[in-house]
Structure 1
């Protein structure tokens, strides 16, 4: 790790911090109970602890469960594409525990995972903005495989086979059904399958299993499997060792899809400029002009019926922010999803597609026009949402985000202690302090603990 630039190491620690707080926040959703039951059924045995519980299992299953939890709130990190932390961090935690890695090793392996996964992602070329075939988990399998290979200390050829095995077994690109379909579901980005596949690929390569080493080449290469139109092979290695993809990772201030963040922030800014409270009903209409995709299903849903639809609904996300509801599990409670206050706000939101030429220096630019009942009109624009790598959140915000989510599981004192452990993980000879600090004080042996019942899991 001594060869890595200090800012890259620091960014890896922030990525770990953000993913862990999202993982812990996931325990406040009913999906945690689903995964608890899944572990009972598969009967998997192993030495790998699932962070935040007193359960252990094998590395692949642990990666699956932890990746699902990291992405459950849609609060996890963002990149040029996808949410790489869900698969990279899940794999890192699982394999590092299995082989008893030190803290420096896990941070270095994460950098490798973000690098390999990210480069594969940006090498895939698409000629159409809305793809018929689309899936982040399909390429994020490489981040998990590379992270696992690094922690297992595989030789170069073994690592190449791990990548090839992962590619040959990558989950299909299903997002056009699981997210953009008529009913968004908990399957979402299939990050659990991607993390598990990547970890198992590395373990297979370690034991002599082989894959097609020409997996990226020719008309039948991985790019074709992933539904891309072509592959820019030069982007796989351009600037390697100098340009680090982890620097392009951002973090979300709101628990909803990345493309909605700027619409939320523009709306908040318009209300702040007007000096009115959304709860006072002083406005007639809020018009949000955003990229066309925001104005199409599932993002234009004016009345989401459950947590999964709510995570991708622009009107709902804006309403939650305007009402001052804490991002995270509280956004998705039955009380909020069915609240009259949210319904009234969503009824006054109009989405308009921005048909202008996209600004290459902006990210999902959004403009808000707020019309008050007294006739006054206020405008606000957000070109690059706070939280994007080009407009980063301070470390203090990430620490506050961590504490808010961790306290739901551990309480204040233990959450502060866990934050301290994560902040100093690069100097630890073992990850044992991390896992020890994250075992909740819950009754019974082998349980995720008491699961919430007030979050809308299904219709």
Structure 2
């Protein structure tokens, strides 16, 4: 287990605990189409399976990419049904864990089919619980455990139902918009339907990914007008399809903060920044931030350039003099289509690892290894530094 001084547990348990701990920082990645977080599951399952098999860094990266591809394509087939029906994205992320683990466990195509079929019969997760409790982290651990258990069972010869995805009352019917085998087959074959470079984003700050772009817009608008929090009359946010504030207007704890558009905007304006340390209890109780929470309101959704918005939004700050400062951010930083800078990833890594009690020397060694992970001899080269 990571951050546990070398403690060892069974394979699927290690993947589960590590995924839960990873997700607890609310700093994972997202498929921006419907906020599935595959990175946690594919990384946790791959590193755990690789410790068992002795796979190299290059093999681990292959397994991680496969997990993204499988999760991304299955996700395509359940958009928009999955989210509209209230299911959490961990349901899709489970398949990433199954595929990544299955790859490193040496499953052939037939056994991999059964691993994914078994995973389809095992999944679960409700969005409502993830927004208001630590069920979100539980979901991440559950997705890895179920995916890895499915891969292990298939590897031992356990058989699933190969037609479970496109059958009547099957997976796509329950979680998507109905059985649609021909369309799904086309989606799986057509690379234009999903691509890691056009749909994925890495979180560059913690919290709900839907809120990152509007926090960036708030920072830009506040800096442009050199806005003082005491001079703010109103804060208006506009996002495609959004007609009410996201999350609680007056959050009282960490779970509320990470899902609160009012907190993200108020904090961004007061600090004129949004960093890895922003989601803290001290900021939650900051009088300047608390004062602005009630001034946040939702404006009409944008009508122009809708194709450019990818979890983006428009923020307008009106000050008491009557002037308004507006900024538009179409997609959050870390969006793969816009490019991702290694310096930003390094900043993220070196901001989070100290919170787990990892020494500066190990953090530095780990970062060097990550930058060259394709040449790593095995998973333990990295996990031994955690």
| CA-CA distance at 1:53 after TM superposition | 4.0
Q: Specify the alignment match of 1:436 in structure 2.
A: 384
C-alpha displacement at 1:50, in angstroms? 3.0
1:415 corresponds to 2:363: yes
Q: Tell me, yes or no, if the aligned pair for 2:227 and 2:269 is still in contact at 8 Å.
A: no
2:204 aligns with one of 253, 257, 276: 253
Q: CA offsets, 1:159-181, max 9 Å, x none?
A: 1111111111112x4113432xx
Identify if the C-alpha distance between structure 1 residues 222 and 290 changes in structure 2 by more than 3 Å, giving closer, same or farther.
same
Does residue 83 (structure 1) correspond to residue 37 (structure 2)? The answer is yes
**CA shift in 2, pair 1:246/1:418, >3 Å:** same
Post-superposition offset of 1:292: 4.1
Q: CA offset at residue 118 of structure 1?
A: 0.7
Deviation at 1:195, TM superposition (A): 0.8
Contact 1:163 1:201 (C-alpha < 8 Å) held by counterparts: yes
Q: Report if the CA contact (8 A) 1:294-1:300 is conserved.
A: no
Please, what is the CA RMSD of the aligned residues?
Answer: 2.4
| Corresponding residue SS for 2:99 | helix
Is 1:347 aligned to 2:294, yes or no? yes
State how far apart, in whole Å, the 2-side matches of 1:360 and 1:253 are: 23
User: Counterparts of 1:58 and 1:355 in 2: how far apart (Å)?
Assistant: 50
**What's the secondary structure of 1:430's corresponding residue?**
coil
Partner of 2:90: 137
Q: CA deviation at 1:351?
A: 2.3
Asked if the contact 1:78/1:388 (under 8 Å) is kept, the reply is no
- Return 5+ residue gaps in structure 1 as ranges: 1-48, 439-459
Q: Kindly indicate whether the alpha-carbon contact (under 8 Å) linking 1:142 and 1:166 is maintained by their aligned counterparts in 2.
A: yes
Instruction: Report Cα offsets for 1:346-380 as digits up to 9, x if no partner.
Output: 12222224164771232133112222223322221
- The answer to whether the 8 Å contact 1:123/1:235 transfers is no
Q: Report deviation, 1:111.
A: 0.6
Cα distance in 2 between the residues matched to 1:149 and 1:130: 27
Matches within 5 A, 1:186-265: 186-188=134-136, 190-226=139-175, 228-231=177-180, 232-239=183-190, 245-247=195-197, 248-265=199-216
Aligned match for 2:242, one of 273, 277, 293: 293
CA contact (8 A) 1:126 1:229 kept: no
User: Which residue does 1:69 correspond to in 2?
Assistant: 21
CA distance in 1, matches of 2:167, 2:330: 39
Contact 1:63 1:91 in 2 (8 A): yes
1:379-411 per-position Cα deviation (integer Å, ceiling 9, x unaligned): 211122222223233111111111111133224
2:221/2:327 contact within 8 Å kept:
yes
Match of 2:46 among 76, 81, 92: 92
Match of 1:255, SS state, is coil
Match of 2:127 among 161, 175, 193: 175
Give the C-alpha shift of residue 244 in structure 1.
7.2
Whole-angstrom CA distance in 1 between matches of 2:66 and 2:263: 37
Report matched runs for 1:13-412 at 5 Å: 49-50=1-2, 53-79=5-31, 80-81=33-34, 82-126=36-80, 131-171=84-124, 173-179=125-131, 184-188=132-136, 190-226=139-175, 228-231=177-180, 232-239=183-190, 245-247=195-197, 248-278=199-229, 281-293=230-242, 295-296=244-245, 299-324=246-271, 327-328=275-276, 330-354=277-301, 356=303, 359-408=306-355, 409-412=357-360
Q: Can you give the 5+ residue segments of structure 2 that lack an aligned partner in the other structure?
A: none
Deviates more, 1:68-77 or 1:332-341: 332-341
Give secondary structure in 2 for the equivalent of 1:237: helix
1:450 corresponds in structure 2 to: none
TM-score by length of 1: 0.76
Alpha carbons 2:6, 2:384 under 8 Å: kept: no
Q: Is the 8 A contact 2:30 2:209 kept in 1?
A: yes
Residue pair 2:169, 2:179 contacting (<8 A) in 1 also = no
TM, length-normalised to structure 2 = 0.90
Secondary structure of the 1:124 match is coil
**C-alpha displacement of 1:130:** 6.2
Structure (1/2) with the larger helix percentage: 2
For the 8 Å contact 1:119–1:235, the answer to whether it is kept is no
Structure 1: how far apart are the matches of 2:267 and 2:59?
40
